[in-house]
């Protein structure tokens, strides 16, 4: 076994056990997510020694500015990628929705784990217990700094007002409960569940109220693209259906040249080997929007020729049928092209300009 950049531990039986260093952000959610992946790896590879390395990122340090305004593309990922590049860690666990659709050269997503609920949820100020977005009084202030959530909800619930709220999940819950600034906040159901705060969810928003962000609810493991051993090891964590849905979603967002600073939302489903994707773009107030849906077969018998590139929007998944990945990626691109032909770029460009001017 080559020594490479790894620390190796001989166990006395002639086998070499690696120390795998897992990079994570320091927030409680990031730690929980990393521990979750560590548990899975431990079960699959009992001989592997796992070490967790926690770091702060730009997204963690700048707590007073809306994400969409910081203007740094890989807010939560850059420092972690630097550590991967310098061989200080061997893999990094992320929320897939925080990973750009184009990764820097040399990196790939080696695992996309089974998705939790991808939906957004309403968390009410305790004094509003029993109410819903519909029944909250006129002028109630809802905290979210997601342009995507605000755009959809402004249109759907015109009696509500929307204000930015930043900070990690703990900070946000505190800002909600201990002050009178917000009547409710909107957060991803998946994050709340992982934190053990399901009891605070008063309402889960279905696609008719608020479609979710690309990759929301799925965990991703980022690795060095050339690190075949680690790639092979983490690939056993892939969940095929989640991989295909997220490839379609990411291809859609990439084609629209969207990042975390544009109001783009999706909804996907796999049923009887058919992958369906609904995608939409919104103006900041939600008044202008374009929404379309398309589907494709992801049956492994499908004869679509595999592209030479084995990465699909950053994801490497040798154990998921290539033809299905190709079909999923094409679905995302085709749906984006359909929206672009109807004027999606104008809506997004205007939204971006207005947001920058805020
Ligand atoms: C991205 C957005 C947000 C996060 C934008 C969006 C929410 C920002 C905000 C790209 N990343 O969703 O439209 O509300 O101000 C984030 C969360 C999770 C991953 C928290 C959340 C947990 C859920 C998951 C922040 N990133 O969305 O409530 O793993 O998908």
Torsion of CA 173, 176, 182, 188, to 10 degrees: 10
* Predicted local distance difference test score (pLDDT) of residue 111: 98
Residue whose pair of structure tokens reads 């609904």 in the numeric block: 278
Handedness of CA 131, 136, 140, 142 (dihedral sign): positive
The band of 17, judged by pLDDT with boundaries at 50, 70 and 90, is: low
What 3-state class would DSSP assign to 143? strand
Which residue has a Cα nearest atom 7 of ligand 1? 146
Which residue has a Cα nearest atom 11 of ligand 1? 98
**pLDDT per position as a tens digit, 328-351:** 999 999 999 999 999 999 999 999
In angstroms, rounded to a whole number, what is the distance separating the alpha carbons of residues 250 and 204?
A: 23
Q: Which of 112, 153, 186, 216 to mutate to test ligand 1, by most ligand atoms within 8 A of the CB atom? A: 216
- Retrieve residue 173's tokens: 């819950």
Q: Which of 205, 163, 160 is nearest to 187 (CA)?
A: 205
Contact in structure between 111 and 41 (CB atoms under 8 Å): no
Which residue has a Cα nearest atom 24 of ligand 1? 217
Cα angle value 39/187/287 (rounded, 5°): 140
Question: Separation of 328 CA from ligand 1 center, angstroms?
Answer: 23
The band of 302, judged by pLDDT with boundaries at 50, 70 and 90, is: low
Point out which residues pair with 345 in neighbouring strands: none
DSSP 8-state code for residue 325? H
**pLDDT per position as a tens digit, 256-289:** 987 666 899 999 999 999 999 999 999 999 999 9
> Residue by residue, what is the 3-state secondary structure of 69-138?
HHCCCCCCCHHHHHHHHCCCCCEEEEEHHHCCCCCCCCEEEEEECCCCCCCEEEEECHHHCCCCCCCCCC
The more confidently predicted of residues 233 and 309 is 233
Question: Separation of 14 CA from ligand 1 center, angstroms?
Answer: 45
**pLDDT per position as a tens digit, 198-224:** 999 999 999 999 999 999 999 999 999
What 3-state class would DSSP assign to 49? strand
The atom number, within ligand 1, closest to the CA of 145 reads: 15
In angstroms, rounded to a whole number, what is the distance separating the alpha carbons of residues 350 and 354?
A: 6
Which residue has a Cα nearest atom 4 of ligand 1? 98
Consecutive H or E run containing 205? strand 201-205
The more confidently predicted of residues 9 and 171 is 171
Could you say which of 35, 47, 64, 98 is catalytic? 98
Cα dist from 181 to 157, 297, 357, 358, whole Å: 19, 48, 24, 20
Give the length of the chain. Answer: 358
Model confidence, pTM: 0.92
Q: Which residues line ligand 1 (CB under 6 A)?
A: 67, 95, 97-98, 144-146, 148-149, 187-188, 190-191, 213, 216-217, 260
Q: What integer is the mean pLDDT of 54-64?
A: 68
Question: Separation of 147 CA from ligand 1 center, angstroms?
Answer: 11
Q: Which of 221, 246, 242, 244 is nearest to 233 (CA)?
A: 221
What are the φ and ψ backbone dihedral angles of 263, each rounded to 5 degrees? Answer: -80, 90
How much of the chain is in helix, strand and coil states, percent to nearest 5?
35, 25, 40
Cα dist from 152 to 16, 106, 183, 357, whole Å: 53, 36, 18, 20
Q: What integer is the mean pLDDT of 152-162?
A: 98
In angstroms, rounded to a whole number, what is the distance separating the alpha carbons of residues 53 and 80?
A: 10
Instruction: Mark whether 337 is an active-site residue.
Output: no
Question: Separation of 189 CA from ligand 1 center, angstroms?
Answer: 10
Question: Separation of 97 CA from ligand 1 center, angstroms?
Answer: 7
């Amino acid at each position: 076994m080559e020594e490479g950049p790894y620390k190796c531990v001989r166990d006395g039986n002639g086998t070499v056990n690696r120390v795998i260093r897992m990079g994570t952000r320091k927030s409680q959610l990031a730690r929980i997510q990393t521990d979750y992946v560590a548990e899975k790896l431990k079960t699959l590879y009992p001989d592997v020694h796992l070490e967790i390395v926690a770091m702060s990122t730009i997204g963690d340090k700048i707590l007073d500015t809306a994400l969409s305004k910081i203007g740094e593309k890989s807010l939560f990922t850059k420092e972690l990628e630097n550590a991967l590049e310098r061989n200080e860690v061997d893999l990094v666990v992320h929320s897939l929705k925080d990973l750009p659709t184009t990764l820097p050269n040399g990196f790939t997503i080696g695992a996309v784990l089974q998705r939790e609920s991808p939906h957004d949820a309403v968390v009410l100020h305790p004094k509003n217990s029993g109410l819903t977005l519909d029944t909250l009084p006129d002028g109630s202030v809802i905290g979210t700094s997601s342009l995507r959530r605000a755009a959809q909800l402004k249109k759907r619930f015109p009696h509500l007002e929307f204000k930015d709220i930043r900070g990690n999940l703990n900070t946000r819950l505190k800002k909600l409960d201990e002050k009178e600034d917000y009547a409710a906040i909107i957060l991803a159901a998946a994050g709340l569940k992982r934190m053990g705060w399901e009891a605070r969810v008063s309402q889960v928003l279905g696609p008719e109220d608020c479609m979710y962000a690309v990759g929301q609810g799925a965990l991703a493991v980022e690795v060095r693209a050339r690190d075949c051993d680690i790639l092979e090891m983490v690939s056993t964590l892939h969940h095929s259906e989640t991989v295909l849905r997220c490839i379609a979603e990411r291809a859609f967002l990439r084609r629209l040249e969207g990042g975390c600073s544009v109001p783009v939302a999706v909804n996907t489903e796999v049923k009887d080997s058919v992958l369906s994707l609904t995608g939409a773009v919104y103006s900041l107030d939600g008044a202008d929007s374009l929404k379309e849906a398309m589907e494709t077969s992801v049956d492994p018998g499908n004869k679509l020729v595999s592209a030479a590139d084995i990465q699909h929007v950053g994801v490497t998944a040798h154990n998921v049928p290539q033809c299905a990945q190709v079909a999923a990626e094409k679905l995302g691109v085709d749906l984006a092209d359909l929206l672009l032909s109807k004027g999606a770029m104008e809506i997004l460009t205007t939204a971006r300009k207005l947001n920058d001017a805020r």
